[in-house]
Amino acid sequence: MNALTVIVPVHNSVSTLNRCFKSICLQTFKDFLVIIVDDGSTDGSNALCQKWVEKDSRFHLYNNYSQKKGASAARNMGLAHVTTPWVTFIDSDDWIEKYHFENLMNNLGNSDIGVSSFTSSEQEVVARGSAIQNLSHDELLCEVLGLNLVSGYLWNKIFKLEIIRENNISFDENAVLSEDLEFVVQYSVFCNQGFFIKSPKSYHYIRRNDSLTRNKNGEVQKYCDEYRTVKRIRNSVRGENNVVKNAAKSHYAITANNLYNVIKKSEQRNNYKEQMSGLRVDILSVIIPYTLSKQYKFRNKASAWWTLIFGPFWER
- Residue 147's domain is classified under what CATH number? 3.90.550.10
Alpha carbons 45 and 224: distance in angstroms, whole number: 32
Q: Using a CB cutoff of 8 Å and minimum separation of 24, what contacts does 75-80 make?
A: 75/7, 75/9, 75/37, 75/154, 75/171, 76/170, 76/171, 76/173, 77/37, 78/7, 78/8, 78/9, 78/35, 78/37, 79/7, 79/164, 79/170
CA angle 267, 271, 275 (to 5 degrees): 115
206 close to 94: Cβ distance less than 8 angstroms: yes
pTM: 0.90
Q: How many folded domains does the chain comprise? A: 2
pLDDT of residue 291: 94
- Residue ranges making up the domain that contains 37: 4-204
- Do the domain assignments include residue 212? no
pLDDT at 219: 80
User: Using an 8 Å Cβ cutoff, are 126 and 199 in contact?
Assistant: no
The tens-digit pLDDT sequence of the chain (316 residues) is 689 999 999 999 999 999 999 999 999 999 999 999 999 899 999 999 999 999 999 999 999 887 677 899 999 999 999 999 999 999 999 999 999 999 999 999 999 999 999 998 877 776 666 789 999 999 999 999 987 778 889 999 999 999 999 999 999 998 878 899 999 999 999 999 999 999 899 999 987 654 444 433 378 888 899 999 999 999 999 999 999 999 999 999 999 999 999 999 988 888 888 999 999 999 999 999 999 988 788 999 999 999 999 999 898 8
- Give a yes or no: residue 302 inside a domain: yes
At residue 217, the pLDDT reads 39
Give CA separation, 53 vs 11, 72, 101, 315, in Å.
17, 23, 20, 56
Query: 266-284 burial by CB neighbour count: b if 16+ within 10 A, else e?
Result: eeeeeebeebbeebbebbe
Q: Are residues 111 and 175 in the same domain?
A: yes
Give the pLDDT of residue 121: 80
Q: What is the pLDDT of residue 193?
A: 96
Whether 149 and 230 map to the same domain: the answer is no
Residues 30 and 177 both lie in one domain: yes
9 falls within a domain: yes
Other CB atoms within 10 Å distance of the CB of residue 316:
6
